[in-house]
């Protein structure tokens, strides 16, 4: 790490929530105080720092910690609820001594999801030993975050894509978001910069033109990724899931359609997670609109993704997605039409509009994968398995690379023991190597200006 990073301006403050977060019992407040001051404090501190520094300018969480080494946060117990005491907080979160309202909301979302959900774990409310229990947890977290809207038609579009994209691709994501907004569609992303911010920014303009005032810009993240991808300021409903697997399940349970913009290994992980679900025989008849799109300059990127998916998972995989290049209105029209089909299907099956209970998610996709050198080397990346199972294992491989790129534990493991080893069938490894090489060449592995050192080693 660069020890020459200058400290940034800071401020001390006491902060109260601007919404109805204070509607907690004294017992709940006491539990929040105890957990926030205990073993979870460091995770809580890091997540809080991330939301206080939107657009932090680095995808290495350690840079942010070096910039604000003295930052601390404490939950204060009050009879009327809770407040937060901040020491050496980033001054950019304040205007004339008052915290920006949107940042206040995101900060208390951290309290809610990092601290409150942990208290529920400790009290044994969730059984994570089977698939239904994990899905129940995902539902409870989303409900507690008020991310579910029960009395509304399906209209939530999940947008995936990279945090490290160029200006042309970023402008394109805004154009697509604008077209979605004109059609009264809400946006859900991973909450960070780049392709996660662009669709929200475009939709805000369209929603304003349509005089639509109850708009949702949902950002779903997890503790290990939030510091590397700080929430963008447009997010008005932040949800922090316990891990990447529950984050991914939250996307597919809450979303009515998914758009994939250009990205890197994190985007590839998301694609493979979803295809691991959609390729399962139990989901063969469930409609789920999925479109890959970008400007004409990104056509080669999607051609490479398409080639990789067909080679590894078979030609049938292409039936589950469409590729639309350089045509934002067409993307929005197809998504809106696809959501009409989702609505009809939910009515027929009597499934909820706000949470896709019918979709089958295999327990293997829900089980947290903790990438280590041994775990990465042991991944089954061979053809003698169903396509949905291979997709799930490929997802784990990309998850490990994401960890090596931007997650602190993963980066430390790489610094200590070198790149993660990845093994498998020769043609799959060659295709994987070529895909990753293209990501590196297109500078999709790190933010612009950062030098990338591969955290993986592919062998045949």
Per-residue pLDDT of the chain (460 residues; tens, 9 = 90+): 444 456 778 999 999 888 766 556 666 666 666 766 767 788 888 889 999 987 655 556 677 788 888 999 988 877 666 789 999 999 999 999 899 999 999 999 998 888 777 777 766 777 888 899 999 999 999 998 999 999 899 999 999 999 888 999 999 999 999 999 999 999 999 998 999 999 999 999 999 999 998 999 999 999 888 877 889 989 999 999 999 999 999 999 999 999 999 999 999 999 999 999 999 999 999 999 999 999 999 999 999 999 999 999 999 999 999 999 999 999 999 999 999 999 999 999 999 999 999 999 999 999 999 999 999 999 999 999 999 999 999 999 999 998 888 787 888 899 999 999 999 999 999 999 999 999 888 888 766 656 788 899 998 6
CB 225 within 8 A of CB 238: no
Specify the pLDDT at position 332.
98
| CATH number listed for the domain at residues 149-460 | 3.40.50.450
Residues 6+ positions from 8 with CB-CB distance below 8 Å: 67, 68, 90, 91, 92
Tokens 């995989």 belong to 317
Question: What pLDDT, on a 0 to 100 scale, did the predictor assign at position 237?
Answer: 95
Give the position of tokens 């479109």: 291
Of the chain, the end-to-end C-alpha distance in Å amounts to: 33
**CATH dotted code for 10-125:** 3.30.1850.10
The residue extents of the domains of the chain are 10-125, 149-460
pLDDT at 229: 82
Residue 207 CB partners (closer than 8 Å, separation 6+) = 181, 184, 213, 215
pLDDT at 33: 67
**Mapping DSSP to helix (H, G, I), strand (E, B) and coil, where does residue 240 land?**
strand
Answer yes or no: same fold for 10-125 and 149-460.
no
Q: What is the DSSP string of 59-123?
A: S-HHHHHHHSTT-EEEEEEETTEEEEEEEEEEGGGEETTEE-HHHHHHHHHHIIIIIIHHHHHHT
Res 120: pLDDT: 73
- CA dist 247 and 408 (Å) reads 18
Q: Tell me the whole-structure pTM to 2 decimals.
A: 0.92
């Amino acid at each position: 790490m660069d020890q020459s990073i200058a400290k940034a301006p800071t401020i001390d403050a006491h902060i109260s929530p601007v919404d109805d977060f204070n509607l907690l019992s004294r017992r709940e407040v006491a539990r929040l105080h105890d957990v926030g001051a205990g073993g979870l404090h460091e995770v809580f501190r890091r997540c809080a720092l991330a939301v206080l520094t939107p657009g932090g300018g680095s995808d290495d969480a350690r840079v942010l910690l070096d910039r604000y080494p003295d930052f601390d946060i404490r939950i204060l117990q009050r009879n009327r609820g809770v407040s937060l005491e901040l020491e050496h907080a980033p001054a950019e979160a304040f205007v004339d001594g008052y915290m920006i309202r949107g940042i206040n909301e995101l900060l208390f979302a951290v309290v809610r999801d990092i601290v409150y959900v942990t208290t529920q774990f400790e009290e044994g409310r969730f059984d994570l030993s089977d698939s239904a229990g994990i899905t129940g947890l995902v539902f409870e977290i989303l409900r507690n975050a008020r991310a579910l809207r029960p009395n509304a038609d399906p209209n939530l579009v999940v947008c995936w894509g990279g945090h490290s994209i160029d200006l042309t691709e970023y402008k394109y994501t805004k154009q697509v978001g604008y077209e979605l907004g004109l059609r009264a569609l809400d946006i859900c992303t991973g909450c960070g910069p780049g392709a996660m911010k662009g669709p929200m920014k475009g939709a805000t303009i369209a929603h304003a033109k349509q005089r639509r005032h109850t708009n949702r810009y949902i950002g779903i993240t997890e503790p290990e990724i939030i510091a590397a991808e700080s929430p963008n300021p447009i997010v008005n409903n932040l949800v922090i899931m316990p891990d990447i697997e529950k984050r991914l399940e939250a996307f597919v349970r809450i979303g009515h359609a998914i758009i994939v913009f250009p990205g890197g290994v994190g985007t590839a992980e998301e694609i493979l997670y979803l295809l691991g679900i959609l390729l399962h025989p139990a989901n063969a008849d469930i409609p789920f609109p999925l479109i890959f799109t970008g400007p004409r300059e990104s056509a080669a990127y999607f051609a490479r993704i398409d080639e990789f998916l067909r080679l590894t998972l078979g030609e049938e995989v292409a039936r589950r997605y469409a590729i639309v290049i350089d045509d934002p209105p067409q993307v929005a029209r197809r998504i809106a039409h696809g959501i009409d089909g989702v609505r009809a299907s939910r009515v027929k099956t009597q499934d909820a509009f706000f949470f896709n209970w019918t979709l089958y998610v295999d327990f293997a996709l829900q089980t947290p994968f903790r990438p280590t050198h041994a775990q990465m080397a042991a991944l089954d990346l061979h053809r003698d398995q169903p396509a949905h199972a291979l997709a799930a294992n490929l997802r784990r491989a990309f998850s490990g690379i994401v960890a090596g790129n931007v997650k602190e534990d993963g980066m430390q493991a790489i610094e200590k023991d070198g790149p993660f080893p990845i093994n498998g069938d020769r043609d799959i490894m060659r295709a994987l190597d070529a895909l990753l090489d293209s990501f590196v060449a297109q500078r999709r592995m790190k933010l612009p200006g950062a030098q990338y050192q591969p955290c993986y080693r592919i062998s045949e």
